[in-house]
Amino acid sequence: MRHYIAIVHKDETSCYGVQFPDVRGVFTAGDTLEEAFDQAREVLEFAAESWLEDTDSEFPAPRSIDELRRDPAFIDDSRDAILLAVPFEPSRPRLAAE
């Protein structure tokens, strides 16, 4: 099973906000960390269902944590964040070639 790394931020007055460095524009939130994790799995499924039609491209393949740690944007975005490994396997093969 593939895992997408999710970046989670939480301020004192906010929910747990979740974003995916490999699936730009896809984000969600939850009142608890557990809810944010569940929402993250759901939003990936939802995004994958219409990704090809919406973007005219294949659903992005996940990068490993080692690859992400070499990405300056990821380093900046993940500062003071919680990282989650969100399991995801699309129902149809729409992942870009690795």
Domains contained in the chain, CATH given: 2-80 (3.30.160.250)
Distance CA 84, CA 40 (A): 9
Three-class secondary structure of residue 98 per DSSP = coil
Cross-strand partners of 10: 16
pLDDT in tens, 11-28: 889 999 999 999 999 999
The pTM for the full model equals: 0.86
The C-alpha torsion from 33 through 5 and 62 to 49, rounded to 10°, is 20
- pLDDT exceeds 70 at position 96: no
pLDDT tens digit string along 37-65?
999 999 999 999 989 888 899 999 999 99
